């Protein structure tokens, strides 16, 4: 389940996950070299620091604001690294479900920092987290919540950054996130969300659109989607299949 964009709830999830990882670490015959207490304690300190920074009034003047934003951005980078370290420990302990739960926390943590003025410099962890949730979630409400969160993150980055990201690796990651949002929108079975996600994919990653709609039509054939969903996918597929043939 996707944790809400709330530091106390993220901390609660980490406590629950951390207890299970610690237990497995202590029982392991050949435990991994890295102790899970190290990233867990560092994440706890980081969340406290973020909470404190959110309560501090912004200083007057542009310099103060920029300094605060830079600090939030750096803390997010550190937080994503710590989540990746903890997930790696969980995988080493043969705990793939817990590893996915840890990785998923990258989404609400990043969204929280974006809401408070920080930047997201490395989108790859979010791409992995969104893909993992999209592939394992069937509950319609959870899919809608995931779509909403991905949309907020993409909106927080802004169209200009999406079109001119920092380097080819980031560019690819943003395109994949747009693609994944379109998949999630389809699985919500809500045409308005599908239309919004499809149009964004076409505008910002047009090279991915033909393959997406082709795969979408294949999914329509193998799954029992409602007729409005099928009709919308068919309309986009027909449009892009024709444009592909013309080019």
**pLDDT greater than 90 at residue 232:** yes
Which pLDDT tens digit goes with each residue over 62-115?
445 577 788 899 999 999 999 999 999 999 999 999 999 999 999 999 999 999
For 153-162, what is the mean pLDDT?
Answer: 73
Dist CA 65 CA 117 (whole Å): 9
Average pLDDT of the chain? 88
**What global pTM score does this model have?**
0.86
pLDDT attached to residue 146 = 93
Dist CA 219 CA 222 (whole Å): 5
pLDDT bucket at 165, cuts 50 / 70 / 90: low
Instruction: Single out the residue of 16, 136, 38 nearest to residue 89, CA to CA.
Output: 38
pLDDT attached to residue 159 = 63
Dist CA 233 CA 240 (whole Å): 11
| Percent of the chain with pLDDT strictly greater than 90 | 62
Please tell me which residue, 37 or 120, carries the higher pLDDT value: 37
Q: What is the largest CA-CA distance in the chain?
A: 62
Per-residue tokens: 227: 């007729």
Which pLDDT tens digit goes with each residue over 190-208?
999 999 999 999 998 899 9
**pLDDT greater than 50 at residue 178:** yes
- In this structure, how many other beta carbons lie within 10 angstroms of the beta carbon of residue 108? 21
Dist CA 233 CA 190 (whole Å): 12
Residue reference for tokens 């840890």: 102
Please tell me which residue, 26 or 159, carries the higher pLDDT value: 26
Phi-psi region of 151 (alpha: psi -120 to 50; beta: other; left: phi over 0): alpha
Which pLDDT tens digit goes with each residue over 22-73?
999 999 999 999 999 999 999 999 999 998 877 666 555 544 557 778 889 9
For 136-164, what is the mean pLDDT?
Answer: 82
DSSP 137: -
For 155-170, what is the mean pLDDT?
Answer: 66
DSSP 55: H
Q: What angle do CA 117, 77, 170 make, to 5 degrees?
A: 90
pLDDT attached to residue 238 = 92
Q: Let me know: does 154 contact 204? Beta carbons within 8 Å.
A: no
**pLDDT greater than 50 at residue 246:** no
For 12-17, what is the mean pLDDT?
Answer: 96
The Cα-based distances of 237 to 102, 137, 242 in angstroms read 36, 25, 8
As a residue count, the chain comes to 247
pLDDT attached to residue 119 = 86
């Amino acid at each position: 389940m996707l944790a809400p964009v709330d530091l106390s709830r993220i901390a609660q999830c980490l406590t629950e996950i951390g207890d299970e990882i610690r237990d497995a670490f202590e029982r392991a015959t050949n435990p991994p070299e890295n102790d899970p207490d190290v990233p867990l304690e560092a994440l706890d300190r980081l969340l406290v620091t973020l909470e404190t920074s959110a309560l501090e009034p912004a200083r007057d003047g542009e310099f103060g604001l920029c300094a605060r934003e830079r600090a939030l951005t750096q803390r997010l980078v550190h937080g994503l690294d710590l989540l990746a370290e903890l997930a790696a420990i969980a995988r080493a302990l043969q705990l793939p479900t817990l590893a996915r739960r840890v990785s998923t926390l990258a989404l609400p943590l990043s969204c929280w920092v974006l809401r408070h003025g920080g930047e997201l410099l490395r989108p790859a962890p979010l791409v992995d987290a969104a893909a993992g949730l999209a592939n394992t979630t069937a509950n319609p409400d959870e899919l809608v919540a995931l779509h909403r969160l991905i949309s907020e993150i993409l909106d927080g980055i802004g169209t200009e950054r999406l079109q001119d990201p920092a380097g080819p690796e980031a560019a690819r990651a943003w395109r994949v996130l747009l693609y994944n949002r379109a998949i999630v929108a389809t699985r919500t079975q809500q045409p308005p969300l599908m239309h919004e996600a499809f149009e964004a994919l076409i505008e910002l990653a047009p090279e991915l659109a033909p393959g997406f709609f082709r795969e979408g039509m294949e999914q329509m054939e193998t799954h029992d989607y409602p007729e409005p969903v099928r009709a919308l996918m068919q309309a986009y597929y027909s449009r892009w299949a024709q444009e592909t043939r013309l080019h």
